[in-house]
């Protein structure tokens, strides 16, 4: 039996840790050649070694997703080397923290450079490269893009933009069999959330408001991304899938 992504060429941004690394590992397990993209080579090489040790295939592409020229070149180079690009996961993100009344314009813009601009550049380039063959684009948003989040206005606005941009991309790509979907994570145990989950009390308070009473694991997000990237989701486009332990479905959490 062939694997779910057998011989597919997949490009994953933010692949050095967290959701991106878990996604790259799952893609490789399912037969894809995975190009690991990020700003720093060392963590990417670490993920690559894990994949190779398990018999998978992986390459490293060091590029800053907030740099249009570098990111587009990395995607185009992948397609040139392998003859195609089948899957793109726009997972890289950046955020600033602070109140609206004290937020600088630079801090505001910093939330959009990677999350929105990078997602646009990546999606645009992937749609060009996938013409005539089809493909799957999975953009990673956040529960902060669905609900207002104090002190994270820029990040929340950027992730909301990703959700609606992806709907437009899905509409434009559908006639060409290019699918575009969104994963909406809740709180996931990654290096990015280490600060808010750094002690037992903070973690317990976070888990209290999640109906499943726990934070998510990166592999649980990766499994959902894998489904949307695979041909099993061949008739799914323009969807936004929450993977959040029920957090976005719950208006009033009953505390035990």
DSSP one-letter code for 14:
S
Task: Kindly tell me the sign of the dihedral angle through the C-alpha atoms of 9, 15, 17, 23.
Answer: negative
Backbone angles phi, psi at 155, to 5 degrees: -60, -45
Selected catalytic residue, list 95, 155, 235, 252: 155
What does the alpha-carbon distance between residue 154 and residue 156 come to, in Å, rounded to a whole number? 5
What does the alpha-carbon distance between residue 28 and residue 47 come to, in Å, rounded to a whole number? 11
Backbone angles phi, psi at 36, to 5 degrees: -95, 120
Q: Whose CA is closest to 6, among 24, 26, 31?
A: 31
Q: Which neighbouring-strand residues pair with 152? A: 98
Q: Whose CA is closest to 35, among 87, 70, 83, 94?
A: 87
- Is 71 marked active-site? no
What does the alpha-carbon distance between residue 174 and residue 172 come to, in Å, rounded to a whole number? 6
DSSP one-letter code for 117:
I
- Cβ atoms of residues 89 and 136 within 8 Å: no
By annotation, the residues acting in catalysis are 155
């Amino acid at each position: 039996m062939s694997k779910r992504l057998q011989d597919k060429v997949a490009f994953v941004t933010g692949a050095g840790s967290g959701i991106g690394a878990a996604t790259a590992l799952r893609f490789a397990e399912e037969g894809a050649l995975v190009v690991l993209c990020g700003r720093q080579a060392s963590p990417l090489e670490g993920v690559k070694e894990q994949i190779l040790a398990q018999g998978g295939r992986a390459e490293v592409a060091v590029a800053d997703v907030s740099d249009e020229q570098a990111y587009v070149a990395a995607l185009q180079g992948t397609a040139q080397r392998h003859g195609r690009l089948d899957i793109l996961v726009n997972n890289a993100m950046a955020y600033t923290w602070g109140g609206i009344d004290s937020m600088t314009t630079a801090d505001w813009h910093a939330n959009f450079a990677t999350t929105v601009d990078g997602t646009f550049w990546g999606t645009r380039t992937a749609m060009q490269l996938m013409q005539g063959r089809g493909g799957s684009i999975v953009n990673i948003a956040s529960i902060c893009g669905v609900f207002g989040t104090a002190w994270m206005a820029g990040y929340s606005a950027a992730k909301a933009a990703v959700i609606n941009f992806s709907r437009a991309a899905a509409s434009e790509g559908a006639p060409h069999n290019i699918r575009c979907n969104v994963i909406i994570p809740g709180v996931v145990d990654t290096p990015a959330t280490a600060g808010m989950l750094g002690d037992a009390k903070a973690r317990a308070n976070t888990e209290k408001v999640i109906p499943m009473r726990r934070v998510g694991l990166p592999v649980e997000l990766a499994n959902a991304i894998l489904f949307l990237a695979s041909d099993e989701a061949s008739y799914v486009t323009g969807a936004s899938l929450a993977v959040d332990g029920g957090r976005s479905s719950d208006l009033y959490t009953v505390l035990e």
